[in-house]
Structures are given as C-alpha cells and as structure tokens.
Structure 1
Amino acid sequence: MLVVALAGCGQERASSETGATSVCDPDDGGLTLADGFCATVVAEDLGTTRHLTVAENGDVYAAVRDTADDTGIVALRDTDGDYKADRTEYFGDGSGTGIGLHDGYLYFGANTAIWRYERSPGELVPSGDRELIVGGFPEQGQHAVKPFSFGGNGHLYVNVGAPSNACMEETRTKGSPGQDPCPQLKQHAGIWQYQANATGQQHSPDARYASGIRNAVALTWNDTVGNLYAVQHGRDQLHQFFPDLYTQTESAELPAEEFFKVDAGNNFGWPYCYYDWMAEKKVLAPEYGGDGEEVGRCDKFEDPIQAFPGHWGPNDVLFYHGDQFPEKYQGGAFIAWHGSWNRAPLPQEGYKVTFTPFDGAQPSGDYEVFADGFAGVDTLRAPGNAEHRPTGLAVGPDGGLYVSGDENGTIWRIAHVGTREN
C-alpha cells in the first residue's frame, strides 16, 4: 500500500448566518465559487480520481482509473480537523469509476463487475475480502465504466453504456447508416436494476430498468421523491459524419446533454433520436434518416426534464440534502461536468459544477454555475489543456460538498460560510 502525507495552510472564515467557522484555502483551491462559499483542497496528485463517497466519520473514498499498480480505490482521512487528508492509502484490485457506501459495505464499480468490501467501524481500509455483487457485464471498448446508485427497496442501479457512438453499421464512419433495430440495446445502453445486498448476481437482459440511454456516468437516486435520475452523454460528430446536414458550429452545440427522471420501463430514444436543446424537441438521428428537423418515431420516446448544450460531459449528479447549504440548494441537483473534446471550432466547454433548483421531482428553474475555474484557462481548445476535469460529487457528514477531478487527481471540499465581505 502507498501512504502519502499531505499538509497545507488554510484560513478560517466565519459564517454570518451560523457563526461557525470553516477552514478554507486562501485561493479556494483555484476555484471560482457561488457567493458565500469557500473551498479546501483535500488532496491532490492522487491519480485519475473518478467518483467518490464520504463516510459518516468523514473518511473519503474515491475510485481511481489507470493506476500503476492496478489498485482502484484511494482512501483519505483527516486527523486534525482541517479537511486536508493526512493519511492516504490505496487498495483494491483493478480500476474503475463507481463507488459508494451502503449498509456497512464499500461498493466499487469496475468495468465488468460491481464488488463490495465490508467496512468495520474505525477502519480506513476494509480488512475483509471483496465480494462479487454483479458480474458478467460485457467487455467493451467504449463507455465501459459502471457507475451505480443505491435506490429504494434495497435496489442497486447500474449504468451500462452503449459500446458505440450511434450504433452505425460501420462504427464512426462517414455516412454509415444505423443498425435498425440496434442489437446493442439487448445488453447495453440503459440502466439495470439488481439487489444491493445479494452476492453472485449476473448481468442479464431481464434486469433492464430503462433503455435508450447512450451513457449515463451521472446517475443518482433522489431519496426525497423516491426516484432515479441520470444525465446522459450525448452522441458525437454530427458534422464529421453528415457534413451535408450539419455545420461545424451546429455539431459543436448538438445534441443536448439530457437530464432524465428515470422510471421503470422508460425509453429515451438512443440511438434513433437525440434532443435539440435549441429547438426544444427530440429529433430523428441522421443514421436513421433524420435531417436535423424531422421528429419521426422520436415522439414516442421520453423527453429530458432539462437540457444542456452539447458535449459538456456530465460525469456525476447529486441531490443536496445536507444541513449546511442555504435553503435554495435544498433538494436541488449539482452536476459535475467533465468537459468536452469535440466542440471545435468553438472553445471547449464544461469543466464546471452547475446547480439546478428543484421543486419536488422536477426542476423549478434554470441551471446556474456553482463552481468554475477547474480548467485553469480562459479559452480551451483541447481537453489536454485543462488543469482539472470534474468527475465526482459527494456530501460529507457536516453538509460540505466534495468534488473530485481526474486530471491531476484532486479532491476539493466546498463549504458555505455566508456572504463574503469585499
């Protein structure tokens, strides 16, 4: 195991509303935040940190991809109350993206299986052997990550991404028609429902919960309304494959990144359809005869509850139910945007955390930028220029919001401290 000691200087900022103090970095860890918030760098240089979760005692766990020694989980502990990790350990077998705590176990989503480790009180690194919860997910080159969420009645919901961009007959090939029906929908491109506490389950078409979702790295259960939600990565390269139908600028903005309220049996239309956020309608994909305007069969698929500009890269979504943030944030959704690679000739976008207010099960207003500055540059032409790319969200026991980034392996904690004084 690798153990790293981390330290840093913070400053206390008092909340004008509660009188409490929060230790935050003088520069907010390089972030630009909504008024009344500050940030601390919990740890950095951790590797390709993806999703994360926080235990009741404040221990932080993050899934890690592409580690040199093939250990897929990093565990962090703050021992002196400054919210900076001074104990860091790596463990597990294989890399992954999904991670979560449930009923005394730490769950981990590798590309082809969901595992869990029993976590005894006081343990930073679980001492027990790992157990298989769901195995048998197909090997795939594209969209192989297995994010998951725990839902009502002891269920585990797992994203199984599509192994292609648009189910073309010749993958990512100019002018190629789509396969109709798309055979990938049998075992991919949707969300599957399994039992959270049953071991040895195998991936099966019979366990499909919802369909027509290209890849939902951002997946969460909202306890307040008892419903599953997901944000989809939209398809790519409309202009590259169909230049007679789409300009480069149109291809940069389309299709929308779609925010779904997911109910059992829903079908959201991939690969046959995509959502045009500017026209506010779902239209037929060009692989299936669409011209950018025709609706065709798409009127029978579910629409998103909110739509965002194309290619921002939604990588996590979280409904806030902590007791630290002001009332406007209660029950609303934070989304971590990993950032685009394919918005040329426009600047690349995403690389931020947004907030959408909710009233019950539906958005009650437009989204707003909550945390920015992750990219570190004003104008991006390629994702490799970004200093950080947000990937994961979690709420700590005191209501602070944790954000991970997989470029340079950084985790921040964002706290509410009242209105800033200029």
Structure 2
Amino acid sequence: MPSKNFILLSLLLIFANSVEALPLDKIKLPQGFSIEMYAENIENARQMALGDNGTVFVGSRKAGNVYALIDSNNDFKAESKIIVASNLFMPSGLAFHDGSLYVAEVDKIWRYPNIEKTLPQIPTPELVYSKLPNISHHGWKFITFGPDGKLYIPVGAPCNICESELPFASILKLDLETKQTVIVAKGVRNSVGFDFHPQTGELWFTDNGRDMMGDNLPDDELNRVTQPGQHFGFPYIHNTNIADPEYRNVQIANLNTPPVLTLGAHVAALGMMFYQGQQFPESYQNTILIAQHGSWNRSNKVGYRLMLVVLDNNQVKSYKPFATGWLQGEESWGRPVDIMMLDDGSILVSDDFADAIYRISYDKS
C-alpha cells in the first residue's frame, strides 16, 4: 500500500525556496518560441498527467513521490505543490482518465478516484492491478490510456542485454474491467514514452538501445506498431540489421520490425508526443516531439535536448533539434524526461535532474 505519510500534505510555495535560478537563457529554441519556469523544487520530476481542471500531476522515480501542481491564478506558474503520495516503488508513470489519477509503481497500478474534486484532501487509493514484475531494473513505467480506453503499460527488460520471458521487454495493455492484459509489442528493451497517432490511432513509441557496444551502437529508436504483437528485435537484432554480439536467434531475429527512425546512440529517448495544439505554427501540427534524457556511458555526452520529427504520410521527412542548451560542452545542468501539452497549446517539459517543470510557448505576434 502507498505510505500513509501522503495524507500529511504540504501546500508549499514552489518558487520561494529556490536556491539558484536555472540558466534558461542557455536554452535555444526556434524563432518565436520561449521557455519559462512552470514549477521548481519538484524532486526527480518524471511523467506528467493533466487533470480535467488543469491540475498537473507529476511522478518521480528516485524520490518515490507523486505531486499535484496547482496554478490557481492561471498565470502558467504553479503556486502550490501537494504531495499526493510518498515512499512508493519508483512511481514514475502517471495517467489521468475519467476524473481519476492512475499511478504506476514498478509492480502495481493504483487509482485515486475523483482526485481533483477532493484536493487538497487525498482520496483513498484503490489497487487496480498487482501482477506486474517487481524487478526494478528498467521497471519504472510510462503509462497512458489509448483510444480504445485500455491502459498501456511497458515492462522493460530486467537487464542491459538478456533473454527473458514475457511480459518482460514488451508493451502490454490492460483492460481495467476484466483485469486481462494483451501483449501489444514484443522485443522492446525499455520504452519510457509513447503516444497514439492522431489520425490512424497507431501506437508510436521510443525505445532505448542496449549499452556496452561502444559509443555509436546501437541507436535508440522511434517505432510504430502496425499489427498487434509485433516483434521489435530485442535482444537479437538492434535497429534494422545490427546483430547482437552476445545473443543469437535467427528465427526471432527475422521477425524484427525495423524502426521508423533511428535517434542516435545513447541519447536516452524518453517521453514523446504528437503535437495537436493550436498555439504553435501550423507546420507543427501532428509532428512528434521527443525528450532525450542524455547519455550516461558515452565518451562524449549526447542528448539532453528536445527533438522534432516531421512526418509526411507516416514517413519521416525531417529530424532536427527543437530545444537545446541543457548540455554545455561536457557539463549538463538539466535532463528532459517528459512532454505534455496544456489546454492553451503550450507544452510542459519535466526535468528529473534540475527538479523542474518548464513551459514552452509560441508568440504568434
């Protein structure tokens, strides 16, 4: 069960205790775009979820907390932070659906019913599902509801590279009524971000490539599910045709679905989102924004940025930086994790290294 300590809420002024302002002037964006702080001191901020009344819910991994951020005067800066839950098992993944907040621990899914109606009081959480593996290696989650009303949940591989039984290295969907799960994608090493194409409804997801094959192999991937149960190669084939040096299975390797786009080795591609707002220029409609958390075991650091993927009939037309500057030389001061759109069409970006939430907006003038 979640710790009872979460009942002891703390409504805190987020900006009052800021130790040092983050260097947002170093972030480079396309002309007309700007970045500002939405919230600070959000320890280890990971996936975000937007409530019907505008509450921004934020999960964490190392901190073990779930937060609710409230912008009471609609100035796009959160004035208060409520600790919804604490001492959870890597509660990185969140989703908001039909008035309830869903929180994914490594091995459990919880529901906080009608939470916005009760805040600052926290509703008693309900255990939704408890049959997920309890292994922490790649065990933290990114969750979201699909167009079919099912909850989509990744189960990462319990290793850097290994053979494992399902549901490891997969993305599954959970029927909340029957508690039955279906495997949507196999051979997925570690997906911590996905979204559904606004026109086709297909699932697109990022996947982190394995480590210890050198600085430049293999790439992280952007993938597209066109058939239920497709195999995406792990651990036998990486990217389109890079055979793993340790694990071989020709039969399964031949099932590999090549990525739509290779994203670069060790960039740690996490949250992704199809942009569907009205604030950005028309050319951004249905483009993909990807948060790259940044490398940890490469000779020279890469990632630490937001990337933009432009599509033309589901084919990649271009792949280029959208927001850069969290990496300065070999020193990084921030690591983007997740991207979420607000109702006005601006986007929020979480940062688990700088403990921050940023807002990126576009000035049409």
Whether these two folds match at TM > 0.5 is yes
| Structure 2: distance between partners of 1:116 and 1:160 | 19
Alpha-carbon deviation of 1:79? Answer: 2.1
Call closer, same or farther: CA 1:27–1:50 in 2, change over 3 Å: closer
Q: 2:339 aligns with which of 393, 407, 415?
A: 393
Pairing 1:111-260 to 2, within 5 Å after superposition = 111-119=106-114, 122-125=117-120, 127-167=122-162, 182=163, 184-195=164-175, 197-198=176-177, 201=179, 207-238=182-213, 251-260=214-223
Q: 2:245 aligns with which of 286, 289, 293?
A: 286
Alpha-carbon deviation of 1:66? Answer: 2.7
CA shift digits 1:358-392 (9 cap, x unpaired): 234x24412111111123x2x22xxxx42111011
> Do residues 264 (structure 1) and 228 (structure 2) align?
yes
For normalisation by structure 1, the TM-score amounts to: 0.78
Structure 2 equivalent of residue 319 of structure 1: 274
Aligned with 2:246: secondary structure? helix
| Structure 1: distance between partners of 2:165 and 2:91 | 23
Aligned with 1:414: secondary structure? strand
Counterpart AA for 2:31:
D
Structure 2 equivalent of residue 88 of structure 1: 81
Alpha-carbon deviation of 1:327? Answer: 1.1
Alpha-carbon deviation of 1:96? Answer: 1.3
Alpha-carbon deviation of 1:28? Answer: 4.8
Counterpart AA for 2:262:
A
Alpha-carbon deviation of 1:124? Answer: 4.2
Structure 2 equivalent of residue 64 of structure 1: 60
| Structure 2: distance between partners of 1:363 and 1:253 | 24
Alpha-carbon deviation of 1:27? Answer: 7.3
State whether residues 386 and 407 of structure 1, in contact with CA within 8 Å, keep that contact through their aligned partners in structure 2.
Answer: no
| Structure 2: distance between partners of 1:53 and 1:37 | 23
Counterpart AA for 2:76:
Y
Structure 2 equivalent of residue 45 of structure 1: 41
> Do residues 366 (structure 1) and 362 (structure 2) align?
no
Task: Give 5+ residue unaligned stretches, structure 1.
Answer: 9-24, 168-181, 239-250, 276-280
Aligned with 1:100: secondary structure? strand
Call closer, same or farther: CA 1:122–1:132 in 2, change over 3 Å: closer
| Structure 1: distance between partners of 2:68 and 2:248 | 49
CA shift digits 1:317-364 (9 cap, x unpaired): 1111111111111111110011001211xx11111011111234x244
CA shift digits 1:122-142 (9 cap, x unpaired): 554563221222212112141
Structure 2 equivalent of residue 245 of structure 1: none
Alpha-carbon deviation of 1:226? Answer: 0.9
Call closer, same or farther: CA 1:226–1:59 in 2, change over 3 Å: same
Alpha-carbon deviation of 1:3? Answer: 2.1
| Structure 2: distance between partners of 1:126 and 1:319 | 33
> Do residues 302 (structure 1) and 254 (structure 2) align?
no
| Structure 2: distance between partners of 1:123 and 1:390 | 31
Structure 2 equivalent of residue 179 of structure 1: none
Alpha-carbon deviation of 1:104? Answer: 1.0
CA shift digits 1:65-100 (9 cap, x unpaired): 233xx5x21111112332111111111241411111
> Do residues 329 (structure 1) and 284 (structure 2) align?
yes
Alpha-carbon deviation of 1:309? Answer: 1.1
| Structure 2: distance between partners of 1:138 and 1:274 | 24
Structure 2 equivalent of residue 274 of structure 1: 238
Identity percentage of aligned residues: 30
